[in-house]
Amino acid sequence: MRTTREGRRFLLATALIAVAAYNTGNNLIYLILSMMLSILLLSFTVPAVMLSRIAADIVFDRLVIAGAEAYASITVRNRKRCIPAFSVHIAAPFLPLPFSVPLIPAAGASERTGSVVFSRRGLCPDVVLTAESSFPFILFYARRTITLRKDLIVYPAWYDLQMQGPASSAAGEGSPHAGGTGDDILHIRAFRYGDDLRRVHWKASARLSELMVKEYAEQESCRMTIILDNASSTIPGDFEKAVSIAATLARDLIAGGNTVRVVTADAVVPFGSGDEHLLQILDMLALLQEDAGRKDLIIPDEEGAFIVVAKSEAACRGGQFAAPGRCIYADSV
């Protein structure tokens, strides 16, 4: 329970009236004092009643990107069967401004839709809302914390990275067979997550008892690997910026029709394309943390072109996999 500015003034006025009533013994002043005490009692108890059995839920309409606006629908429910709730204010760290619900009917609900902003990427297991009410006289605020178990993943912020320099040169790099027409089959390989089912070689799949796909010349030239080293926490640099750059590169390269793989010191997201593959990459990057241990980078093979993203040149490993000029340092972008 919190006292408002008006509440402090009212308490002072009540104290002065009490002194005057005691000194004068005037019945009218005692009547005024009793009315003021009744108002104080109501102001102290009613807000708590308004917030009792109040519940909430939140549904996000799309991906939640760190630092970017997303839209969410917040439903506030009144579980009291007979008593409506008046003047309920909802606030949260991710809400730009608190919003007010003037009336929630008994056993009813009220829904509000608006923008939300989360400042940092990562797993947000609990979404915390704060409900407040000062009904009816704005003298005291009752507050209640509503914790929602959501396991919300906040994805890395997009970085305003122009597809020039390392990114564009790597994207344009072709294999020795890049001059193919797109109908030339280079070889047949095992099916990978994200491969187009239209490329499946059914005869080879039946013979080998596993899905095999045809590799075309134009496909070979579009294989891109993004290396992000996260095993250098003791070296200065902006790791969060490096993660944002890697996420943005993956988004732009996949949007350009490339087949993308992401390699870190902890995990590898294999080659793939399309929106589902991008979500798989973003899931991994959202939860990626720096590790002080100097783990070896996991490079399954040296297929296609490479882009190395590091927080600084001193923290960069894996540069031997990328051609000169295809290393991006977060502290110099």
For 204-223, how does the pLDDT look when each residue is reduced to its tens digit (9 = 90+)? 888 888 888 887 655 444 78
Buried (b) or exposed (e) across 279-296, using 16+ Cβ within 10 A? ebbbebbbebebeeeeee
E runs forming strands in 7-139: 54-60, 69-78, 85-91, 99-104, 109-117, 122-133
Buried (b) or exposed (e) across 35-45, using 16+ Cβ within 10 A? ebeeebeebbe
**Banded pLDDT at 174 (limits 50, 70, 90):** very low
For domain 1-155, the CATH superfamily is Immunoglobulins (2.60.40.10)
CB contact at 8 A, 85 and 133: yes
Flag whether pLDDT at 170 surpasses 80: no
CB contact at 8 A, 228 and 244: no
Q: Where are the domains of the chain?
A: 1-155, 166-174+221-332, 184-218
**Banded pLDDT at 52 (limits 50, 70, 90):** very high
Instruction: Tell me the pLDDT tens digit for each residue of 66-102.
Output: 999 999 999 999 999 999 999 999 999 999 889 999 9
| Mean pLDDT of the region 214-234 | 71
Long-range contacts from 90-95, C-beta under 8 angstroms, 24+ separation = 90/56, 90/129, 90/130, 90/131, 91/129, 91/130, 91/132, 92/116, 92/127, 92/128, 92/129, 92/130, 93/128, 94/118, 94/119, 94/127
**Cα Rg, the chain, nearest whole Å:** 30
Flag whether pLDDT at 319 surpasses 60: no
Flag whether pLDDT at 32 surpasses 80: yes
Q: Is the overall model pTM greater than 0.75, yes or no?
A: no
Phi, psi at residue 83, to the nearest 5°?
A: -115, 120
Strands 305-310, 327-329: pairing kind: parallel
Closest by CA to 290, choosing from 242, 225, 226, is: 242
CA–CA distance, 304 with 321 (Å, rounded to integer): 10
Q: Would you state the pLDDT for residue 237?
A: 65
Instruction: Tell me the pLDDT tens digit for each residue of 257-268.
Output: 889 999 888 888
CB-count exposure of residue 18 (10 Å: 0-12, 13-18, 19+): middle
